[in-house]
Structure 1
Amino acid sequence: MWTIKSFQELSTYELYTYLQLRVDVFVVEQSCPYPEIDGYDMDSYHLAYIENGELLSYARILPAGIKYNRISIGRVIVNKKARGRGLAKQLMEQAISFSSEKWPNGDIQLQAQTQLKHFYGTFGFEEISEEYNEDGIPHVDMLLHKF
């Protein structure tokens, strides 16, 4: 089941499971110690896919003016046990659809791990920066321009 909620709509249980998955993958699995709780969650929308009571995928959507001057999609993640099922594609489709409905014609920006730039490119995102190091992992900024 797909859900999208503002921070204020989240239960403490939902928030805990979202943060736990983010830390499990971005900090532990990727061996990347960084401040996962970054101050943006309270202004974000939280998109999640839950199956049989378990969080399998998640993304965070920020309105323009919070992190960038554009809408932003971040913390795109699929639970390790659910990878290979196409959930990342569905997650991005859901995130782009929500963003387009909520903020019509708003460009969407994201920070992509360089290894995933082709994946984001399949949704129309284009590189807008040179590769740079973010917490020890190569990244590029990408933009989906809405006409």
Structure 2
Amino acid sequence: MTFKFKHFTELSTSELYDILQLRAEIFVVEQDCVYNDLDGLDKDAVHQFLEKDGEIVAYSRLLKPGTRFNHYSIGRVVVKETKRGTGLGIRMMEEAKTYILNNWKPGKIKISAQKYLRKFYEDLGFKVVTDEYLEDGIPHYGMLFENKAD
């Protein structure tokens, strides 16, 4: 299984539909969070996703500085419920960091992490850089990964 990385303009209509469907399944239905997922940033993003048996089972959105934060960022991170606990989320985040470091060469990557995932992201090298805050009614932390090579 290989993650794909595609700019918005490279996505097929079917891939885009499946990505938006997975994001809605997790963020809107599972987490019961009504928010505007279509925030205008998808067009500027590189979309990372994994397909298995014809369906997208994991996804994240990579953004350059000035799009959402002053640093590179990884967001909209989702793993289909049936695939959680398999290490897929860890692999996806490691590959996202590697993609950013190899293609965009940043020193820092910022994320807005849901509070309950704090340890997951800390284990991946991210450090909390903000107090807890609410985003779309869900507790979050701002977290930063700093490339040790810088």
| TM-score bucket (shorter structure) | over 0.9
Could you tell me how far 1:65 is from its partner in structure 2?
A: 1.3
How does the TM-score come out when normalised to structure 2? 0.95
1:145 aligns with 2:146: yes
Superposed CA RMSD in Å reads 0.8
Aligned residues: 147
Partner Cα distance (2:97, 2:87) in 1: 16
Letter in 2 for 1:119: F
Measure how far apart 1:2 and its partner are: 1.3
Is the 8 Å Cα contact of residues 72 and 106 (structure 2) preserved in structure 1?
A: no
Distance 2:14 2:106 in 1: 34
| Alpha-carbon distance between aligned partners in 2 of 1:69 and 1:103, rounded to the nearest angstrom | 14
Aligned to 1:47: 48
Contact 2:6–2:47 under 8 Å retained in 1: yes
Which 4+ residue blocks in structure 1 deviate beyond 3 angstroms? none
Which residue does the alignment assign to 2:123? 122
- Alignment correspondent of 1:101: 102
SS of equivalent to 1:142: strand
Return the offset for 1:136.
1.2
Give the Cα–Cα distance (whole angstroms) in 1 for the partners of residues 36 and 89 of structure 2: 23
1:86-134 C-alpha deviation (Å, 9 max, x unpaired): 1100110110000101122431000000110110011111011000111
Q: Which whole-Å deviations, capped at 9, do the CAs of 1:59-90 have from their partners, x for residues lacking one?
A: 00001111111101001100111112111001
Is the Cα–Cα contact under 8 Å of residues 130 and 142 in structure 2 kept in the other structure?
Answer: yes
* Residue ranges of structure 2 left out of the alignment (5+ in a row): none
Gap runs ≥5 in structure 1: none
Distance in 1, Cα, partners of 2:29 & 2:82: 15
- Matches of 2:53 and 2:30, distance apart in 1: 23
TM-score for both structures, normalised by structure 1: 0.97
- 1:81 maps to amino acid: T
Counterpart code for 1:74: G
Give the alignment of 1:14-93 within 5 angstroms: 14-93=15-94
Q: Distance in 1 between matches of 2:10 and 2:107?
A: 24
Q: Which amino acid aligns with 1:141?
A: G
Range moving further from structure 2, 6-15 or 104-113: 104-113
